[in-house]
Amino acid sequence: MLLACGALQAAGRCAEDDMPTLAGVAPDMVAADDQPRQQLLTLVRAGIERSLTLGAARLLADAALQDMEEARAASSLQGGLNAGLGPAHSESGGYTRNATLQGQASVSLSKLLWDGGRNERLVDWRRLLAEAATQGELNQREQLALNTVVLALERNRYRMQLEVYAQYAGKMGCLVSALQDTVAADRGRASELVQARKSLDQVALQRAEAQSQLRLVELRLKRLIGDMPLMVAGLPYQLQPIPELPELMAAAESAREIAQLGAQADAASRYADAVQAGTRPQLSWVMSAARTAAAGTGLPDSGSTALTIGLSLNVPLLSPGVLPATEAARRRAEAARVQRDDALDSRRSRISELHEQSVASVDRAARVRGVLRSSEELRSATLQQWQQLGRRSLFDVIGAESEHYGLRLSYVNALHDTQQLNANLLALGRGIEPWLK
């Protein structure tokens, strides 16, 4: 009996020693520096430099800018050279002339003076498409930043879970060790040892699952940022507090995705104006010089020179396809505006949902923290009564420990759920990357 009591007292001391403060999970612990945020920014920038998708979006934006320059150059001075060589036959006023070999060369210069605003509208169309492509690139960049931050938080979640499981396994290991000494003195307590070992095996299984999830998250994160250090600490407190809902709603309208859709709608409207302007007269300035030389005509002078300079007016008289083309372009512009408004409404609805979830997550974390304090008192009392032989059973001790560490895991999850929701809220508003800077 004395040996059994001594073993149980050793279990109590082991339990008391197994109470280190879990880094980042203590109820009153708050990170005060910006180092974790700077580390997150480093990860985000590494992902931006590495991303092939973002590189492709950047190339498309550059191509759209070149398209705009092409449209703008249409109203600049244009020049051309034409040349031809071959036999020729011509008839004029009853006079026939044959040439064995005739060469022609001409140079022309022209400049558009007025086209009813068509080219100007085309330039605006290309400019707005370039702006939409740029906003698309920035939206891709923002999504990449969000994915990086969320994965970094998820990695931190599983690392902290592993800390909890390590402490839980250490506690159950202490109980198993103490019970082994107890069973050596009292074989009637063997069933308790079996129960403690089973609980220890269950903790080991849960810990292995968390370790596997951690490796998967790290693989996803390394795909984004490559092989670089992933040591980021203190993340659970770096994205609080929750942004105010009116502020988020106001920022939603200036989000990259909404700006991209708005630019596409404006571009479609300018294109419709350009199609309609195609029915208006076009006035150009033209100068040309031509020289023709022929051989084998039997005439002493077989060459001619022509020089012209003046204005050229082109007046469309009949274009049956312009009206349906204009109407189709305007319908597409209206559809783009409807898509933009629908995306904005969907974004605001998503913001409302995430904000409510984030508030609920903060409340859940606070409630779990309160229950966690009570759980700590309960497990200490249960362990003390178990030491007194008969007041509590080992099943009560294991149940109290399981409940306590389950609450600690719930607290870890609530903290990280809140931060991931906040990250999504920032991404739906003004963006993650500006906040990190």
Tokens of 26: 């203590």
Pick from 152, 231, 221, 217: which is nearest to 432 by CA? Answer: 152
| CA distance to 84, 118, 329, per residue, from 326 (Å) | 40, 13, 5
Query: Per the structure block, which two tokens stand in for 411?
Result: 């607290």
- CA–CA dist 158, 160 (Å, integer): 5
Residue 239, token pair as written in the block: 């994205």
Task: Return d(Cα 405, Cα 383) in angstroms, integer.
Answer: 15
And the tokens for 312? 């050229």
CA dist 351 and 362 (Å) reads 16
Lowest-pLDDT range of 13-22, 90-99, 363-372: 13-22
8 Å CB contact between 328 and 402: no
What's the maximum distance between 2 C-alpha atoms anywhere in the chain? 140
Q: Where are the domains of the chain?
A: 2-75+117-280+323-436, 76-114+282-315
Residue 5 contacts residue 389 (beta carbons within 8 Å): yes
296: left (phi over 0), alpha (psi -120 to 50) or beta: left
CA dist 132 and 261 (Å) reads 7
CATH class of segment(s) 76-114+282-315? mainly beta
Rounded-to-integer distance, Cα 382 and Cα 380, Å: 6
* Statement: residue 143 has pLDDT above 90: yes
Which burial class, exposed, middle or buried, applies to 110 when counting CB atoms under 10 A from its CB (0-12, 13-18, 19+)? middle
Taking each helix axis from N to C end, the angle separating 394-428 and 118-185, rounded to the nearest 10 degrees, works out to 170
Determine the 3-state secondary structure of 391 from DSSP.
Answer: coil
Tokens linked to 344: 């904005």
Model confidence at 408, pLDDT cuts 50, 70, 90, reads very high
Q: Is 168 exposed, middle or buried (0-12, 13-18, 19+ CB in 10 A)?
A: buried
Q: Looking at the predicted structure, is the pLDDT value of residue 147 above 60?
A: yes
Specify whether the CB–CB gap between 336 and 264 falls below 8 A: yes
Inter-helix orientation angle 394-428/322-387, to 10°: 160
Assign 107 a pLDDT band (cuts: 50, 70, 90): very high
| Distance, CA of 106 to CA of 22 (rounded, Å) | 86
| pLDDT (tens digit per residue) in 235-266 | 555 555 677 888 889 989 989 999 999 999 99
Q: Which two tokens stand for residue 117?
A: 């605003």
pLDDT (0 to 100) of residue 142? 93
Query: Which pLDDT band, with edges at 50, 70 and 90, does 103 fall under?
Result: confident
Helix or strand or coil: residue 47? helix
Q: Give yes or no for a contact between 149 and 40, defined as CB atoms under 8 angstroms apart.
A: yes
CA-to-CA separations, 282 to 79, 107, 117, 201, in angstroms, rounded: 18, 22, 10, 86
Enter the CATH code of domain 2-75+117-280+323-436: 1.20.1600.10
Once rounded to an integer, what is the mean pLDDT over residues 57-74?
93
What average pLDDT is seen over the chain?
A: 83
**Two tokens, residue 38:** 């700077």
Q: What is the mean pLDDT of residues 273-286?
A: 89
